[in-house]
Structure 1
Amino acid sequence: MNYLPKSLATGFVLALFASSAVFAATHPVTGETLAEDQTFTYSLLDEFTSVDPQIVEDVSGADIVRDLFEGLMNQDADGNLVPGVATGYSTNDAKDVYTFTLRDNAMWSDGNPVTAHDFVYAWRRLADPATASPYSWFAEIMALENVGDVMSGDAAPETLGVTALDNHTLEVRLTSSLPYFAAMTTHSSTFPSPEWIVRTSGNDWTKPENIVSNGAYVLTEHIPNERSVRERNPMYWNNDDTILEKVVALVINDENVDFTRYLANELDKGTVPSGQYIRLKQDYPDEATSFPRLCNYYMTFNLSDSGPEAFKDVRVRQALAHAIDRSVITEKILQAGQINAFTFTPGATAGFEVPPVAFGQMSQDEREAKAKELLAEAGYGADNPLSFEYIYNTSEGHKKIAIAAQQMWKEVLGAQVTLANQEWKTFLKTRGAQGFELARGAWCGDYNEASTFLDLLTSPSGYNDGKFSNAEVDALMLDARTMDDASSNYTRVEEILANEMPVIPIYHYAGVFMLKTDVKGWPYNNVEQNVYSRNLYKVAK
C-alpha cells in the first residue's frame, strides 16, 4: 500500500505561490504584510542537553534540532504527517517493511546531497552502544530488525534492519508490524547525521564552527547557559518558503525575570509565571494562551536496589499518591487549564480513552482517608514517621508544586519530606543514575500514540529511571506493537500502574505561554507541539 501524506499537494501549491516570501514583503499565501525584522526570540528554562540528533534528550533541545535537521517526515500545524526529506513512503501488507523515497534536492549546509546513506548512518549510530545515546531505547521501540543484538553489542551496527537501496531509497525492516512507524520518524533521534563531520570533529561536531546540518536553519552561535542563535540555511531545499531569518533562544531560569523581559519586548515568546494565567489572560487576551499538550507531569519512585526500603512497599507508594490533592496544584497553583491526572497517558493522546482507574474515581476526602489507612498498614505513624527526599529541577513552578506536596504529605500522613532542587543537567544525571528517592518527572510524547508514554515504564526503557519492572506490563506493551487495536492492552497497563504506583501522576499539560501578536503560524492544534520555525513569520505592526 502506498501512502502520500495528505498535505503533499498543499506543498506544491505553496511552491507555486512563493518565490522568496521575505523579499516579497507579503506572505505568499495570506497576503499579510511582513515585518522587516524576521527575528524570533524566545526563552528556555534550562540549557539544552545537545543539538546532536542522536544525543539530545530534552524537549527544548529537540525543538532546536528540529530546526537544524530534517528527518524523513514532518508534521503540519494539525499534527498530520507531511513530507520531510522523504516525499512519501510505501509499506507491505504486514506493515513490517517500510520503503521511503527521498527527494533529490535535499542538501546539507555544506552543499553535499542528503542521501539514504545518511539515515542509515544515523540510525546505526543511535543503536550502537559506542555512541552511548540516552535515546538508544527509541531504536528498540521502533522494532528495527536486529536492534536488540546491536544495542547489546552482540551484533555489528551494520546488521541493523535499515538499508540504502540507492541514494534516494531507504528500506526499513521491522521485527513486527508497526502501523504507526512512519509517525515515529518525526522524532529528532531519527534525523540524519553527517558522517564525514562526525568522524573528523568528534564530540565537537555540533559546535557552530563545525556543524553541518540539513534543516531550514544553521547554528551560528552558542553560549552555554546564555543563548543560542540559528539562522536561515540557504542550502535547505525549501529555503524560498522560509520567512523567519533568525531564531534566538535565551536561557532564563527565573520565570518572573522571563515575564519582565517579555513585557520589555526582549522576547517574542515568554513564560506565564505559575498561578498568573487567569490574570494575564484578562490583561493580555491576545497574548496569553493555553491549550492541551501531549505531556504528563509525575513523580517517580526509586525502586532500584539503591532506593529506600519504604518505597518497596506498594502501600507506601499508594498512600503518597492518594494524599496529593491534584486540584490544589492545577486550580490554585498553576491555574492554566492543566488536567488532574490519575493515569500516566494523557487524554489528548490519539485513540486513547482514559480508563476509570479506582483511585481516580474517589473524592479527595476518600483518597486521604485511604492514604492514612494504607500508611498505617505499612507500619508508619507518629512513632515511626515516613521520611524521604524529593528532588526536582530548578524552577519556581516545580518548587511551588514540591512545597504543596510536602505540606499535603505532612498534613495527611505526618510524613517528613525534605526538598532539593538541582540544575537541569545535574538533575538528569542524578535521576538516570538512581541517585534519588522520589524525583520529579515529565514526559512529552515522541509520537501521538499511547505507547510513547507506557513504553516508558517497561523494563528495557532507557528512561525508566525508577527501574519499575512488571512482567505483565512488558508483555502487554510488546503485544501491543502487533495489534490493530491495542486499546485493551493500554487500559490494562494503566490499571496495573494505578495498583502498583511506580509513579504518581500529577497532571496532564496545557501549552501555556505568552506570544506577541505579530508572530503568526503557531501550530496550536498540534498536541505534540512539534514546531518548525520555518512555518512561523512576523507581520508588520
Structure 2
Amino acid sequence: MKKHKSLLLLLTLILAIGTVLAGCGSNNKNDDQSAKGDNGKPKEQVFRMNFASEPPTLDPGQSQDNASNTVINAVFEGLARKGTDGEPVPAVAESWKISEDGLKYVFTLRKDAKWSNGDAVTAKDFEFAWKRVLDPKFTPAPPYVYQLYYIKNAEAYNLGDIKDANEVGIKATDDHTLEVTLENPTPYFLNLMSFQTYYPIHSSAKDNDKWATKPETLIGNGPFKMSKITKGQKIELVKNDQYWDNKSVKLEKVEMSIVNSSATELSSYRNNELDYAGQPTGSIPTDQLNAVKKELPEELNIKGISSTYFYVFNTTAKPFDNVNIRKAFSMALDRKAITEKITMAGEIPAFGFVPPGIKGVKEEYRTEVPDTYFEENLDEAKKLLAQGMQEEGYTTLPEVTLIHNSDDRHKKIALAVSDMWKKNLGVEVKVQNQEWGVFLKNRQNLDYQIARSGWGADYNDPMTYIDMWTSKSGNNDSGFKNEEYDKLVNEAYSSSDNAKRMEMMADAEKILVQDNQVVLPLFYYSNVSLVKPWVKGLTLDYKGDIDFTRAYIE
C-alpha cells in the first residue's frame, strides 16, 4: 500500500521530540467578561476543555479509555512520567537501578512525594495498588491486568495458580524502596511506569469501593486534585498544593465540560468558552473542517499519531463466527474514500493493526513490516460472502448491527461504511448509537456483532497492539482465542533478541488480520484539535494523549 511520506516523517518526528501545541491570533470575543479579558483570554490560570463522553471510571486499576485516562493522568502520578520526547523521566521515583540481566528493578522514591490529603506516598502504596489489580477477587476484572504479567508470578497469582501474593515479584522493602522482579527482560518496562495501571492507590481505597466517585474520597498524588464532579455535566480539577513538584504547575484550575456534540464544542471554542477543542477527548465536525482551516489556520493542529481506528467483530456471534464473512465485509470497503470524503484530516488508510510511528528493529515497525495483509477487492469480497453463507446454510444473512459510541464523527463513518456494504455486498446493516458506558459494557460482554474501536500505544513497542488480542487479555472484546497466537506473544515476551521479537509479533499480526480478520482496520489516526494562542506548554505525545499538567495561560 502506498503511504504519504510526509505523514510518516511527521510521525517519526513526534516520536523523537514530542509536540508542543501553541497558536497565535484570534478575533473571537465573548459577551461574558467576568472571567475573561477583552480578547476572551481567561484572566486567571484556568484551562477549559470538553469531553464528548463522561469518564466511566477514575480508578486507575479499571481505566481503559481516553476520557478516564485524561483525568487520571492529572490526578495521579507513577514512578515515572513521560518526558517531552515520550521517554520516561523520574516522577515519584527519584531514581532507579536495573540489574545486568534486566530482571530486577529497584526504585528509590522521593521523600517529599505526598497524597493530596498530606499523607506520604510510600512504596507500600505501589505494592498495594499493583497487587490489588492482580487479586483474582478484584471485580470487575481489570481490563489491563495482563499489563502486569511482566512481573514474576503476577499471572500465576492472578489466575489462581499461586495463592500467596507475597510470591509476586513486588516488594516494598521500606517506605522509599520498591523492588520489582520480572519474568523476562522487558526493554520497555520503564515506559510502563507512566501507565495508569501502574499508578499507586491510597490505602483508604481498601475499605471503600466507591472511593473514585467523589472528590472528598478521590485521594490522588498528581499535579491536580478533584474539586467537583457534576454527573453528565462537568468535572473540575484544582492545583494540588501537596504535589512534590507543584512549583512546575502553573494552572490553578482545569474545567472539563461534558457535551456530546462536536458542533457545540466548536461553537464554544469560537465563543472563547473553551481553550481547547478536538481529540483526544472531543472532536471537531468534519463538515466544518475546511471552514476551520480557513478561519483559524494558526490555531488548528492536524498531526499524525500512532493510533488505529478499526471495527472489531464478535467472532462468537452470527454471522461473524464465519471467517469468510468477516473477510468479505473488510474487503468490500473503500478506505481511501472514507479518509478523503468523511474524515478529511490526513488519516492513512489501514490494512494492518500496528500503526506507523512505532519502533521496529532499526526503523519503524510498519516500514519493516508492510501492512499488506489484505486488499480491497469487491469481486473477491462477493465470492467470500457467498462461500461463507453457503458454509453456514444461509440464503440471506441474519440481521446485522454495527454499534458505535455517541460521537458525530463515529456516526458519519458508520453510516458511510454501512452504505458501502449495502452498495457493494447487498447487505443491510443497522447503525446503532450507544452511550459510552453502555457501549463499553456491551463490547466487554460480547453483546454486539460489529463495534467501533480505536487503539493508541500504551508504550512505544508493537507489543502494545499485539498482546491485547491474547485469550487472557482484558481488552480482547472479540471472543477470539488462538493457541498459536498466544504462543507467539509468550515467546516474544521471553525473547531478548529484538529482531526475533519483531518477527514473532509480525507473525501474530498476520494471524489476527490476514488469517482470521478479527479486526477490520479502517485508518491510522491523525489528531485534529484547536488550541487558543494564550495556551502555552500544552503537549501531545506520539499516540495523541494530551498533557496539560505543565501548561499555562500567557
What TM-score, normalized to structure 2? Answer: 0.86
Deviation at 1:92, TM superposition (A): 1.5
Mapping 1:355-394, distance limit 5 Å: 355-358=369-372, 360=374, 362=375, 364=376, 367-379=377-389, 384-385=396-397, 387-394=399-406
> Aligned pair in 2 of structure 1 residues 82, 530: CA closer, same or farther (>3 Å)?
farther
What residue is the counterpart of 2:537 in the other structure? 521
What residue is the counterpart of 2:18 in the other structure? none
CA distance in 2, matches of 1:440, 1:459: 20
What residue is the counterpart of 1:96 in the other structure? 103
Q: Give the aligned residue type for 2:378.
A: E
What residue is the counterpart of 1:496 in the other structure? 511
Q: SS at the partner of 2:402?
A: strand
Q: SS at the partner of 1:202?
A: coil
CA distance in 1, matches of 2:547, 2:296: 25
CA contact (8 A) 1:97 1:172 kept: yes
Q: SS at the partner of 1:277?
A: helix
Is 1:159 paired with 2:167?
yes
What residue is the counterpart of 1:30 in the other structure? none
- Which of 399, 411, 415 is 1:399 aligned to? 411
5+ residue gaps in structure 1? 1-33
> Aligned pair in 2 of structure 1 residues 94, 136: CA closer, same or farther (>3 Å)?
farther
Q: Which protein, 1 or 2, shows the higher relative CO under an 8 Å CA cutoff with sep ≥ 6? A: 2
What residue is the counterpart of 1:176 in the other structure? 184
CA contact (8 A) 2:62 2:144 kept: no
Deviation at 1:231, TM superposition (A): 0.3
Once structures 1 and 2 are overlaid, which stretch shifts more, 486-495 or 134-143? 134-143
CA distance in 1, matches of 2:407, 2:174: 48
Q: Give the aligned residue type for 1:312.
A: D
Is 1:47 paired with 2:65?
no
- Which of 320, 331, 346 is 1:337 aligned to? 346
Is 1:214 paired with 2:221?
yes
Mapping 1:19-168, distance limit 5 Å: 36-135=43-142, 137-140=144-147, 142-154=149-161, 155-168=163-176
Is 1:473 paired with 2:485?
yes
CA contact (8 A) 2:536 2:552 kept: yes
Deviation at 1:379, TM superposition (A): 3.2
CA contact (8 A) 2:78 2:91 kept: yes
Q: SS at the partner of 2:308?
A: strand
Q: How many residues align?
A: 497
CA deviations over 1:403-442 (Å, ceiling 9, x no partner): 1111111111111211111100001111111111111111
CA deviations over 1:301-340 (Å, ceiling 9, x no partner): 1112xx11x2222111111000111112111111112111
Q: Give the aligned residue type for 1:326.
A: R
What residue is the counterpart of 1:262 in the other structure? 269
CA contact (8 A) 1:49 1:57 kept: no
Aligned-residue sequence identity (percent) comes to 32
Q: Give the aligned residue type for 2:296.
A: Y
> Aligned pair in 2 of structure 1 residues 133, 186: CA closer, same or farther (>3 Å)?
farther
Deviation at 1:202, TM superposition (A): 3.3
Deviation at 1:289, TM superposition (A): 0.8
5+ residue gaps in structure 2? 1-40, 279-283
Is 1:294 paired with 2:306?
yes
CA distance in 2, matches of 1:126, 1:138: 6
CA distance in 1, matches of 2:292, 2:144: 41
Is 1:441 paired with 2:446?
no
Is 1:242 paired with 2:249?
yes
Q: SS at the partner of 2:294?
A: helix
Is 1:349 paired with 2:371?
no
Mapping 1:454-465, distance limit 5 Å: 454-465=466-477
CA contact (8 A) 2:350 2:371 kept: no
Mapping 1:253-332, distance limit 5 Å: 253-271=260-278, 272-304=284-316, 307-308=317-318, 310-332=319-341
What residue is the counterpart of 1:192 in the other structure? 200
Once structures 1 and 2 are overlaid, which stretch shifts more, 315-324 or 125-134? 125-134
Q: Give the aligned residue type for 1:499.
A: D
What TM-score, normalized to structure 1? Answer: 0.88
Q: Give the aligned residue type for 1:162.
A: I
> Aligned pair in 2 of structure 1 residues 237, 505: CA closer, same or farther (>3 Å)?
same
CA distance in 2, matches of 1:287, 1:509: 19
CA deviations over 1:488-512 (Å, ceiling 9, x no partner): 1122122222221011011111111
Q: SS at the partner of 2:479?
A: coil
Deviation at 1:143, TM superposition (A): 1.4
CA contact (8 A) 1:345 1:453 kept: yes
Q: Give the aligned residue type for 1:165.
A: T
CA distance in 2, matches of 1:291, 1:167: 42
CA deviations over 1:247-288 (Å, ceiling 9, x no partner): 111111011111111111111111321243333122211111
> Aligned pair in 2 of structure 1 residues 268, 343: CA closer, same or farther (>3 Å)?
same
Deviation at 1:448, TM superposition (A): 1.6
CA distance in 2, matches of 1:52, 1:339: 34
CA distance in 1, matches of 2:59, 2:397: 46
* TM-align CA RMSD: 2.0
Q: Give the aligned residue type for 1:504.
A: L
Q: Give the aligned residue type for 2:406.
A: T
CA deviations over 1:434-456 (Å, ceiling 9, x no partner): 11111111112211211111111
- Which of 251, 258, 263 is 1:251 aligned to? 258
